[in-house]
């Protein structure tokens, strides 16, 4: 079968990229292997665990089951894009301060999902926070400190 590479153009963390990809590559593969943004993790690879969550035009999506061919013209935000200069995002600070990180593997996805929630809803309730991160699995923390960390960012805004 004759399959040619496609050229796609999209923005990642504010920077435009125009790259050649094979049509069956996922966004996760392109982020990690072409752009070397290895903050986005592969857990299950099948859309169940949320580790690969990035934002596309502000919405949380699973980059392991997103075709890179489909992000043409879109704005992608990954965990690397949350840092401004030397300052971490308030969510990143909160995760550190609350001990919401243990092995750390779920953390980028968890923070990106929380970022989407907070952009959409300024003052989510604890129930809304829990519902939003239901698709981000953490096998270390038991979630309590993660929820506390996200809540603290909400409270700081008040």
- Binding residues (CB under 8 A) for another protein: these are 1, 3, 6, 22-26, 28-29, 32, 42, 44-47, 50, 53, 59-62, 64-67, 69-70, 72, 113, 116-117, 131-136
Nearer to another protein, 78 or 84 (CB): 78
Tokens of 74: 């879109």
**Residue 50, helix vs strand vs coil:** coil
Phi, psi of 81 (to 5 degrees): -80, 0
Closest contact distance (angstroms) between CB of 86 and another protein is 30
Cβ 1 to another protein shortest distance, Å? 6
- What does the alpha-carbon distance between residue 5 and residue 8 come to, in Å, rounded to a whole number? 10
What the block records as the tokens of 156 is 């700081």
| Residue 127 in tokens | 């129930």
In whole angstroms, the minimum distance from the beta carbon of 157 to another protein comes to: 20
Nearest approach, Cβ of residue 40 and another protein (Å): 12
**Which C-beta is closer to another protein: that of 123 or that of 131?**
131
> Which of 100/112 has CB closer to another protein?
112
Residue among 1 and 84 whose Cβ is closer to another protein: 1
- Least distance between another protein and beta carbon 92 (Å): 19
What is the 8-class DSSP label of residue 103? S
Compute CA distances 66 → 39, 53, 63, 86, 102, whole Å.
Answer: 17, 10, 5, 31, 28
Measured between alpha carbons, how far is 142 from 125 in angstroms, rounded to an integer?
19
Q: Which is nearer to another protein, 44 or 90 (CB)?
A: 44
Residues forming beta bridges with residue 75, ordered by sequence position? 11
């Amino acid at each position: 079968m004759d399959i040619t590479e496609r050229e796609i153009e999209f923005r990642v963390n504010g920077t435009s990229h125009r790259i050649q990809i094979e049509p069956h590559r996922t966004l996760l593969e392109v982020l990690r292997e072409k752009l070397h943004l290895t903050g986005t993790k592969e857990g299950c690879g099948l859309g169940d665990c949320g580790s690969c969550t990035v934002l596309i035009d502000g919405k949380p999506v699973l980059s392991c089951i997103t075709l890179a061919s489909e992000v043409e013209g879109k704005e992608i935000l990954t965990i690397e894009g949350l840092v401004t200069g030397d300052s971490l995002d308030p969510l990143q600070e909160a995760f550190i301060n609350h001990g919401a990180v243990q092995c750390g593997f779920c953390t980028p996805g968890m923070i990106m999902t929380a970022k989407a929630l907070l952009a959409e809803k300024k003052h989510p309730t604890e129930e809304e926070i829990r519902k939003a991160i239901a698709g981000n699995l953490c096998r270390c923390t038991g979630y309590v400190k993660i929820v506390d960390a996200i809540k603290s960012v909400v409270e700081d805004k008040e």
